[in-house]
Amino acid sequence: MSKMNYFGTDGIRGQVGGDLINTDFIFKLGYAFGVVLNNTNCNPHNKVKVVIGKDTRISSDMLENSIVEGLISANVDVFLAGVIPTSAIAYISYISNFSAGIVISASHNHYLDNGIKFFSGNGSKLSLHMEAAIEKEISNPVILYSKKGIVTKISNIEEKYIDFCKSTFPNNISLKGIKLVIDSANGSAYKIAPYIFNALGANVFAIGSNPNGKNINDKIGSIFPDTLKQVVISKKADLGIAFDGDADRVLMIDSNGRIFNGDELLYSIVIDRLSYNIVNGVVGTLMTNYGFEKQMHKLHIKFYRTNVGDRNVIETMKLYNCLYGGENSGHLICLDRHSTGDGIISSLQILAAIIRHNQSISSFIKDLYMYPQYIVNVPWNYQYSWEKNNKILIKKQEIEKKLSNRGRVLIRNSGTEPKLRLMVEAADKNLALSCIQELKSIFD
């Protein structure tokens, strides 16, 4: 399939007011999506209907208005869910028989960015074929339908999603007596996340729960764990749990201030499941730590790598009949619980695991040795392929030779930003550090 012009690894994302995230383009995007949904509607007697959620960015209301106008111009009925986590829209799309779901969010990015995520009616991300059809339709002229869709605000989605999250936590386990700091990144889970953990018995102290439209992910949330770390230590909490702006990522911090990334958290879920069930295999990405892969082999669990992006992880999980997968960034997928990544549900699985085994996270995952890994982002123009840059290729080969079989180096395009991700990991920390510095130097 040819390269996408608009879609990245997780929908469409960019700076507000830029080429993609502006009212005109978002209107066309909504209209194009509506046309594609109508063209693929197998039962013309059932009206196409789409549910829309959003995060707390100041631009989300404006973009919602534009995409709604595009959808109803294609005679699609729209249901507005308000501010709600991304995975809640995936869940509601499925259980309420919507044709599709849309989330207005730029996930972990700052407030100056925004984006559009799409879900099919079964709660999964759109297929590449569907995305290609939307891109093709965007280039066509807008021809207004004879009838317009209607817009309805719905108010019971939060309750349904909260009940669903709670249902994924074992009935015979309680969070009573556990002190948690919940960091919602001033994002879409700012009300729901603290409520769920409190309802399950935890003593909750909430931070990142006062959004003002501009403070989403602002030195808080899963990409700024030091903020949560300080609060966990000062409050003498048992654990801290941090989400990103749309709550599809999670990381955790223990009472000693140790930060657990997605690989470590995924490992805790896998070994918990392994204690009472068969684990057919686990899916990671090109960025998954080599130590995780080695540990899977020790446990005789098949491990599969795929390209970065939770959709790639989920597709590979389905291909190899795996229930568990994730990314070191904190996207964790448990297909025995949900159709997509969900930070709240993933953290509940981890809490259930350590309570069930009566261990702290650090002791529970003590057999996992994580190779020291350094990741650096550098600006990069997507019009140019780094694979054709001799300077980069030569330096990469030099570092690979230096690492030999003691580590690995990876260069890849970001799917959401005009950047290259540089990664080096090695069994020896100093070797990994010197190699990443050497690699980065050619971009300075």
Is 254 annotated as contributing to ligand binding?
A: no
Between CA 290 and CA 371 the distance in angstroms is: 6
Please tell me the predicted confidence (pLDDT) of residue 2: 61
Q: What stretch of H or E contains 92?
A: helix 86-95
pLDDT digits (tens, 9 = 90+) for 281-300: 999 999 999 999 999 999 99
- Mean pLDDT over the full length of the chain: 95
413 — pLDDT class (breaks 50, 70, 90): confident
Is 367 annotated as contributing to ligand binding?
A: no
Least confident of 261-265, 320-324, 384-388, 432-436: 384-388
Asked if residue 419 lies in contact with residue 395, where contact means CB atoms within 8 angstroms, the answer is no
Residue entry with tokens 């590979």: 316
Ordered by where they begin, the domains of the chain are 12-156 (3.40.120.10), 168-256 (3.40.120.10), 261-364 (3.40.120.10), 373-441 (3.30.310.50)
Structure tokens at 216: 């989403």
pLDDT digits (tens, 9 = 90+) for 2-27: 678 899 888 999 999 999 999 999 99
| pLDDT (average), residues 403-418 | 85
Please tell me the predicted confidence (pLDDT) of residue 415: 67
Write down the catalytic residue from 73, 93, 99, 107: 107
Is 238 annotated as contributing to ligand binding?
A: no
- pTM of the model as a whole: 0.92
Structure tokens at 11: 């929908």
Residue 1 confidence (pLDDT) above 60: no
C-alpha angle 313-424-265 in degrees, rounded to nearest 5: 45
| pLDDT (average), residues 155-172 | 96
Structure tokens at 54: 């959003």
Please tell me the predicted confidence (pLDDT) of residue 42: 78
Structure tokens at 70: 């595009």
| pLDDT (average), residues 358-374 | 96
Residue 319 confidence (pLDDT) above 60: yes
Residue 428 confidence (pLDDT) above 70: yes
Is 244 annotated as contributing to ligand binding?
A: yes
- Phi, psi dihedral angles at 118 (to 5 degrees): -125, 145
Check if 2 is active-site. no
Residue 347 confidence (pLDDT) above 80: yes
414 — pLDDT class (breaks 50, 70, 90): confident
pLDDT digits (tens, 9 = 90+) for 240-253: 999 999 999 999 99
Give how far Cα 42 sits from Cα of 30, 39, 45, 150, 368, Å: 20, 8, 9, 21, 48
Burial class (CB in 10 A: 0-12, 13-18, 19+), 188: buried
Residue 276 confidence (pLDDT) above 60: yes
Provide the β-strand partners of residue 101. Answer: 51, 119
Alpha helices in 250-342 (DSSP H): 262-274, 290-298, 310-319
Please tell me the predicted confidence (pLDDT) of residue 9: 82
| pLDDT (average), residues 206-219 | 98
Please tell me the predicted confidence (pLDDT) of residue 44: 76
Burial class (CB in 10 A: 0-12, 13-18, 19+), 11: buried
pLDDT digits (tens, 9 = 90+) for 367-393: 999 999 999 999 998 778 899 999 999
